[in-house]
Structure 1
Amino acid sequence: MTPTGTTWAAIAGLVAMLSACCAQAPQRPATATRPFRMGFTPWPSEPSARGLRTAQTFIEEHGDMVSLMLIGGIPWQEALEGRPFSADVRRQLAYRPPTGHRLFLSISPLNMGRNGLAPNWGERDNMPLPEAWAKRRFNDPAVVKALTAFTLRAVAALKPDWLAIGVESNALLSHDRPAWQDYKEMHRAVYAAVKRRHPKLIVFFTTEVNHYLERASEARGSGQARELADLMRHSDVFAMSYYPHMSYDTRWPIPNDFFGFARQFRKPIAISETGMLSKEVTVTGIKLRGSPEDQRQYYEVLLSSAQRDRYLFVVTFCTTDYDLLLPALPPEAREIANIWTYTGLQSSSRAPKPALEVWDRWRSMPLARGR
């Protein structure tokens, strides 16, 4: 999910405020267990405590893991100097998943446009970078030191089962190829530092699939396959972020072996975030495809692929459609946020969608031992 910085700042600010106050794929195969965890982010469906509770209840009833995404900035100066974090940062680092649910933690050194350094996280997230930080490159020693320190402190506080130290990292390659080389240097340094301290922790970055396949116009000719193969040498998992409705190059129905390209890295596979529209929307005059059947068929392919290739986990970003949240957003943010409004597995009135039946069919299977 790659909104603009302005959009995400408006949306994330609202979430922070709420948190403070409170061809068809094969059917489920005849097998006794599933190898992958299934979960969601705690994204609210409306601007109220009820919206947060709806997400929490859905996670408890339909998942066995939670994805906590710290993607609104880094407390750069505090992390660099080892000083206490703000109340907002401390509140996020105090999160605990429901009993029996594992935790996937994502930390992003990129901004929401995936074209520069993450903003500052101070009294709130998505604050402007101080002038000194705005001038720094990804491989600047201060950036590497601060990002490493924050990551280690977040791991100590949250004790995640999986850790992403980059979110949709490859989108930077599409936007700024020289900066990508600096980013790779930074990633390798942080990865090595985390693995030294936590050798058993599964550490990786996530890949935006439409950019990786060079379906995004800015990604074409960027050498995604070659560059990702290089960075994958410092990643324990090939983790994908994929929203099929965001590209006109998506083939419908989704081919049964669409995700076959993920096997080439010969590493464990995961879906770090995903979603598909159940309703057509128009954004900046462009129609994006969506229907209950498209959503259902996508999840048939996705979860069958996860079973076949023994994924670690599958994360759906939105539990619930958030059309009730949109009016609380600024008009410019509302337009872009509409891209993902109807990707929930239930409507804002809590009506289950056909895709939820597919999801729950797999969710009802017992987990394989050790998963």
Structure 2
Amino acid sequence: MTRRRYIILLLLLVLVLAAWTFVPQPSQQTDEAFSTPSPLNTAAPRSYRLGFTPFPYEISMEAVNWVYDTLAEDSDVIMQHFDNGVPWPEALMGEPYSDNIMNDWEMRRSLTPPDHAIILSMTPIAFFRDGIALYRGDQDDMPLPAPWDSYAFEDPEVSTAYFNHLHRAIEYFQPDYLVMGIEVNMLLSKRPDLWAGYVEMQQLVYDKLKTLYPELPMMVSVLGMAYFPQYAPEYDDLPAQLAGLEQLLPYSDYFAISLYPYLSSLVDGIPPHFFHDLFALAGDKPIAISETGYPAQILQMQTVDYTFPGTPERQNAYITGLLAQADAYDFQFIVNFVLRDYDALYEAIGGGDLAAVWRDTGLYDENGQPRLVLESWRQTLARPYMP
């Protein structure tokens, strides 16, 4: 793994965070809403897997190895998360992918623990969730070449290329789960004019892949806070979001949620009804947390008036509460996106608000020391997995 690729990975994180725009409002809860962790079931089997992405905490091969070695012990599923463009022309024509792509794929596959399940996560939507994903070739997220810069989601070239890309990635990684779109409902909020074309493409690609892989769970993920405009007012069209979800769920095997409740007005806690209201949207679909996290340290932003009073105790309460919900609702998996705090990476790129958003959401701190929540996580992981 080269230094250049690590820098690219870091820039990907920053760009993804840039896609998160939120307007903090006055606190909605008292601190009592987050003072006591939910009781854990420490004996019964669990229906869900627990995992992380292999995102490194600094620019070094030592960091990569540490993350893979540690998640081998502290998880039973790994999410290989690709939110950095699609090789559109090569995928359409069945041509070889660039060394940039294949070296990355080979590194990830070779380091993945052999006894771990794999979640393959890809998306046809751009980082900012405002159009078609950019081009991945010799570099990540390059401008779309002609004629791809003029295509819409519903164009047959786009659906064919994306189907081919997912097919090739499935054959390569042999995943146990496929996320075929990341936080897709953000597109509905940012570019509602593109939504119908995206849904048409999603349905077509899902149907074709299901014919080839009928036993592989396939899903798109949605941003959970978009269904709570009272806490995330930038998502102010709840009827449109609910209608969009109705279009998605028939072509998504799970209700997969990207959940970061601290990126909202829920600064001092989570309302008792929050999880119930969110998971009720699943209908009869199994529930999965495709990515989540919660800061264990204070998050203070400079460009917006926002301070989140993160502590290890609050992180523990959130994750422990989510584990209790996983038992109650028979989740399929939970992915805490960051394994170890990335303060070293944060400093390497000069800091800034956007890079800080996930910095302190690891279950290990920046020095590699376990956080309070890791005990509950490990207790749950030690329970037998029985899907």
Q: TM-score, normalization: structure 1?
A: 0.90
Q: Does 1:216 align with 2:232?
A: yes
Report the equivalent of 1:20: none
Report the equivalent of 1:76: 88
Q: Deviations over 1:39-67 (max 9, x none)?
A: 00000011111221221122111100100
Q: Deviations over 1:297-334 (max 9, x none)?
A: 10111000011111111000000000100122266xx4
- Give the distance between the partners of 1:149 and 1:314, measured in 2 at CA: 28
Report the equivalent of 1:187: 202
Whether the aligned pair in 1 keeps the contact of 2:37 and 2:316 (CA below 8 Å) is no
One-letter amino acid of the structure 2 residue matched with residue 262 of structure 1: F
Q: Which moved more, 1:215-224 or 1:41-50?
A: 215-224
Report the equivalent of 1:32: 44
Question: Is the partner of 1:245 in helix, strand or coil?
Answer: coil
Q: Does 1:132 align with 2:137?
A: no
Identical aligned residues as a percent: 33
Give the counterpart of 2:278 among 258, 261, 264.
Answer: 261
Q: Does 1:357 align with 2:375?
A: yes
Whether the aligned pair in 2 keeps the contact of 1:254 and 1:297 (CA below 8 Å) is no
Does the C-alpha gap of structure 1 residues 187 and 199 become closer, same or farther in structure 2, counting only changes over 3 Å? Answer: same
Question: Is the partner of 1:325 in helix, strand or coil?
Answer: helix
- Give the distance between the partners of 2:105 and 2:92, measured in 1 at CA: 17
Q: Does 1:286 align with 2:341?
A: no
Report the equivalent of 2:258: 241
Structure 2: gaps of 5 or more residues: 1-6, 15-32
- Give the distance between the partners of 1:259 and 1:121, measured in 2 at CA: 39
Question: Is the partner of 1:340 in helix, strand or coil?
Answer: coil
Whether the aligned pair in 1 keeps the contact of 2:232 and 2:265 (CA below 8 Å) is no
Q: TM-score, normalization: structure 2?
A: 0.86
Whether the aligned pair in 1 keeps the contact of 2:253 and 2:285 (CA below 8 Å) is yes
Deviation of 1:213 after TM superposition, in Å, equals 2.5
Report the equivalent of 2:71: 59
One-letter amino acid of the structure 2 residue matched with residue 261 of structure 1: L
- Give the distance between the partners of 1:176 and 1:12, measured in 2 at CA: 21
Structure 1: gaps of 5 or more residues: 1-6, 15-22
- Give the distance between the partners of 1:41 and 1:244, measured in 2 at CA: 19
Deviation of 1:354 after TM superposition, in Å, equals 1.2
Report the equivalent of 2:243: 226
Q: Does 1:339 align with 2:357?
A: yes
Q: Which moved more, 1:252-261 or 1:78-87?
A: 252-261
Q: Deviations over 1:161-183 (max 9, x none)?
A: 00011000001111011111111
Report the equivalent of 2:12: 12
Does the C-alpha gap of structure 1 residues 318 and 287 become closer, same or farther in structure 2, counting only changes over 3 Å? Answer: same
Q: Does 1:202 align with 2:214?
A: no
Question: Is the partner of 2:78 in helix, strand or coil?
Answer: strand
How many residue pairs match? The answer is 353
- Give the distance between the partners of 1:225 and 1:177, measured in 2 at CA: 13
Report the equivalent of 2:24: none
RMSD over aligned CA atoms reads: 2.0
Whether the aligned pair in 2 keeps the contact of 1:253 and 1:297 (CA below 8 Å) is no
Whether the aligned pair in 1 keeps the contact of 2:340 and 2:361 (CA below 8 Å) is yes
One-letter amino acid of the structure 2 residue matched with residue 221 of structure 1: D
Q: Deviations over 1:86-129 (max 9, x none)?
A: 11211233333202100000111111111111111001211111
Whether the aligned pair in 2 keeps the contact of 1:74 and 1:121 (CA below 8 Å) is yes
Report the equivalent of 1:3: none
- Give the distance between the partners of 2:43 and 2:273, measured in 1 at CA: 19
Question: Is the partner of 1:39 in helix, strand or coil?
Answer: strand
Deviation of 1:251 after TM superposition, in Å, equals 6.1
- Give the distance between the partners of 1:43 and 1:54, measured in 2 at CA: 11
Report the equivalent of 2:119: 104
Q: Does 1:90 align with 2:110?
A: no
- Give the distance between the partners of 1:288 and 1:26, measured in 2 at CA: 25
Q: Which moved more, 1:215-224 or 1:319-328?
A: 215-224
One-letter amino acid of the structure 2 residue matched with residue 341 of structure 1: R
Report the equivalent of 1:323: 343
Report the equivalent of 1:176: 191
Deviation of 1:288 after TM superposition, in Å, equals 3.6
Q: Deviations over 1:132-189 (max 9, x none)?
A: 2122111111111111110111111111000011000001111011111111011001
Question: Is the partner of 2:324 in helix, strand or coil?
Answer: helix
Whether the aligned pair in 1 keeps the contact of 2:54 and 2:80 (CA below 8 Å) is yes
- Give the distance between the partners of 2:335 and 2:118, measured in 1 at CA: 11
One-letter amino acid of the structure 1 residue matched with residue 236 of structure 2: R
Q: Does 1:296 align with 2:316?
A: yes
